[in-house]
Amino acid sequence: MKIIKYFLAVLLVGSVSVHAQEQEQKERQQGHTNNNKFKQLYDEFATPNMFRTGSGAPGPAYYQQQADYKMDIEIDDENARLYGSEVITYTNNSPDELKYLWVQLDQNMRARDSKTPLINSSGIGPATTPSRAAKSYLSKGFDGGFHIEHVKDTKGNDLPHMINRTMMRVELPNALKTGDKFSFAIKWWYNINDHVKDGGRSGYEYFPENDNRIYVMAQFYPRMAVYNDVEGWQNSQFWGRDEFALPFGNFDVSITVPADHILDGTGYLTNREEVFTKEMMKRYNKAKKTYDRPVEIVTQAEAELIEKSKSKKKKTWKLSAQMVRDFGFATSRKFIWDMMAVKIGEKDVMAVSLYSKEGNPLWGEWSTRTVAATLKSYSRMTFDYPYHKAISVHAPMGMEYPMICYNFGRPDENGNYTDRVKFGMISVIIHEVGHNWFPMIVNSDERQWTWMDEGLNTFVQYVAEQDFAEWNPSALSEGMTKYPSRRGPAANIVRYMGGDQDYIAPIMTKGLNTYQFGNNAYGKPGTALNILRETVMGRELFDYAFSEYANRWKFKHPTPEDFFRTMEDASAMDLDWFWRGWFYTTDYTDIGIKEVKKYAVTTNPTEEGKQLAERYNIDPQELVYFVEEGQEGFEEAMANEGNMADLPTVKEFVMDNFSPEEQQELNTPKYFYQITYEKPGGLVMPIIVEYTYADGTKKRETFPAQIWRLNDKEARRAVASEKEIVSIQVDPDLETADVDTSNNSWPREVTENEFEKFKSQLKN
């Protein structure tokens, strides 16, 4: 009955909801709030204001603070210790009066009294190894953390200050009013950590051969915390995982290291003539004009010679950077140094690499070329790279700072490397150089929202990887047709999203509190954006909006809402449902085909059709009838009646109501199907369907996600077709991250589990 009614309605009205509630309710249901998946995000989003508008753009009262640094740094290579003094000039652009300033002391996370080890659970098993026992229960551990020698004003008076773990509050002599500047000086030292042994986002790697170190330095100075309209002072401590929130400013940094070191870092090298030999200057000038390959400033032969001895002398390198949020540098006597020029817009940018012989031949071949390709791809997707250089440094980690990043990928002792090592290295370089855009320039708050830089960056990384292979086909191994990206394609996130819900957190969770950090903050948001671009919005709309976001917020501090709102504002697509599902929940995609019914059309009244006609007092001869396959009269109708347009009653109607032009363009459907889609998954996503016809041809149709707006569980569609449909496939290209594809086809394919698939492959 339900079905006939449905089709009658289709005929008479044209569309119908599948919401028929025919069963009588035994108990009166309770009410509920709006739990529609398409409900706008007013409850989740901050209210727009004069600082941040509803469009996602900075508002008329938007402000940001500025912190400028003048620093003198010296590295004591013998003791692996860093000594520093700095003058910070802080400008209060906020409308608020500030009584104190907060300075970040990130190194304190490695201090012996750090609370970081105390927030992890530990237990005792029946047995352990001596080395583990010693490390856990005997050793005091690495003696890290800042030793603050003084905090003074510019006249040399001590400033009262209080250290709360990784943050230091500095009391101001007078409250800082809007537009005021305040300068103060800090002197400090600390023991540099071995980042290979003890971990960390900076530190040194030790090489027993010739007793040498490669220093890749960051968080080496007390840094201003961010004060802004959404957080006030950033008050979330550095526990070690969540990265950084930093204001923009200008840096003038003098770094003194052993005279035989090669050093590069954030900013312009302002005393190049002093620290370069004549030969290096000559090579450097050549590199500035070489666009097709890296030019070595220090060769491997030279580096190998230098690392064999140690200079007692010192040398000071001076770097000056404008509009950066942080500062990093790398120094070692082991460094080979190469660079090449890249045209970005009208400007030349230098792509630079620093690596030791341990990185070759891989690094000489691919590092600088990868930097160059990355600068082009990201510039295309966002805005032209505004700095003058980007450096990739060889170190067993993957970490980013303005203009400089530290990347892994090392061949074995004989210089051999596999594809895994090579593409791992190229991918990490693309990723870390890409961080120049997110978060170094589009300066989101990493401490609160890891995904805002990592997720967006992972997405653009995927685009850049595909570009890289297109521009450097020789980088691919035999048999490869495209870059082997591990993150980006929808299918690659299925295992995570379909996994144990007890260990999955929504993307909109502070990084420290997430399970499976990499999937949560990198893989899922990166993939979500890729799906948004390829499947939901289309490249044209997405790319415009994404670039609009980057341009609106370059050299500013965006929040998640600024991103979500801009994507909608610039595309005229209400994407609240997408943000809600993908970013605010742990729901997953699972859309399938529940049932397919096949019908023939006839003028011969069916029993049910007759009853219906009687009920509504219609002459049975005036209706057309659908007979389901398997019911009496189906075969007959298929054989005799032909297509719908040939039925006398329909013909008559058409002649009376359609213009001759319209009559020319009539469809002539003969096969009718009612397809019921089911959605066991919580995410609403478009239904992408592929019909395969008896003659082997195929047709695709996409129903927007809004098809689920009134029924989150099932959707029904009538299909009228001239050709017989033999099979139907949902999400044929696996672009929605559907976690269970066993219900994606009709007729239902018998799916083997992974184990049996492997076994049957073996047999073949």
Q: Contact positions toward other proteins, by CB under 8 A? A: 109-110, 116-117, 120-121, 125-129, 131-132, 195-196, 198-201, 240-241, 243, 396-400, 407-408, 416, 418, 420, 424, 428, 431-432, 454, 478, 484, 486, 495-496, 498-500, 502-504, 515-519, 521-523, 753-756, 758-759, 762
Task: Give whichever of 49 and 136 is closer to other proteins, judged by the CB atom.
Answer: 136
Nearest-10 crossing angle of helices 362-381, 419-434: 40
Among candidate residues 576, 552, 453, 587, the one with its CA nearest the CA of residue 45: 576
- How far is it, in rounded angstroms, from Cα 493 to Cα 472? 27
Nearer Cβ to other proteins, position 65 or 461? 461
Query: Smallest distance from the beta carbon of 117 to other proteins, in angstroms?
Result: 4
Helix (H) or strand (E) holding 10: helix 2-12
Q: Judging by beta carbons within 10 Å of its beta carbon (0-12, 13-18, 19+), is residue 629 exposed, middle or buried? A: middle
Tokens of 657: 């109501």
**DSSP tag of 117:** G
Q: Give the integer Cα–Cα distance in Å for 764 and 760.
A: 6
- Give min distance, CB of 399 to other proteins, in A: 5
H helices of 597-747, where?
Answer: 607-615, 634-640, 648-657, 660-664
Polymer length of the chain: 764
Q: How far is the CB of 328 from other proteins (least distance, A)?
A: 13
Question: Shortest approach of other proteins to residue 30 CB, angstroms?
Answer: 33
Query: Considering beta carbons, is residue 520 or 745 the nearer one to other proteins?
Result: 520
Q: Which residues contact 416 (CB under 8 A, 6 or more apart)?
A: none
Nearer to other proteins, 431 or 565 (CB): 431
Q: Please, are residues 177 and 143 in contact by the beta-carbon 8 Å criterion?
A: no
Q: How far is the CB of 141 from other proteins (least distance, A)?
A: 10
Write down the least CB distance from residue 420 to other proteins, Å. Answer: 6
Query: Distance from CA of residue 754 to its chain's centroid?
Result: 29
Write the burial class of residue 277 (CB in 10 Å: 0-12 exposed, 13-18 middle, 19+ buried).
exposed
Q: Which is nearer to other proteins, 496 or 677 (CB)?
A: 496
Residue 106 or 641 having the CB closest to other proteins:
106
CA distance 324 to 401: 9
Residue 398 pairs in a beta bridge with 407
CB atoms within 10 A of CB 451: 27
Backbone angles phi, psi at 615, to 5 degrees: -60, -40
Nearer to other proteins, 42 or 755 (CB): 755
Beta carbon nearer to other proteins, 141 or 160: 141
Q: Identify which of residues 454 and 548 has a Cβ nearer to other proteins in the complex.
A: 454
- In the bound complex, what is the minimum distance in angstroms from residue 509's beta carbon to other proteins? 13
SS3 393: strand
- Distances from the Cα of 662 to the Cαs of 332, 666, 721, in angstroms? 79, 7, 19
3-state secondary structure of 367: helix
Least distance (Å) from other proteins to the CB of residue 430?
A: 11
CB 514, min distance to other proteins, A:
9
CB of 200 to other proteins, least distance (A): 6
- Kindly tell me the burial class for residue 505, based on how many C-beta atoms sit within 10 Å of its own C-beta (0-12, 13-18, 19 or more): middle
Beta strands in 134-202 (DSSP E): 147-153, 161-164, 167-176, 181-191
In this complex, which beta carbon is closest to other proteins, that of residue 421 or of residue 720? 421
In the bound complex, what is the minimum distance in angstroms from residue 435's beta carbon to other proteins? 8
Look up residue 644 and give its two tokens: 């719908």
- Which element (helix H / strand E) includes 9? helix 2-12
Minimum CB distance to other proteins smaller for 494 or for 570: 494
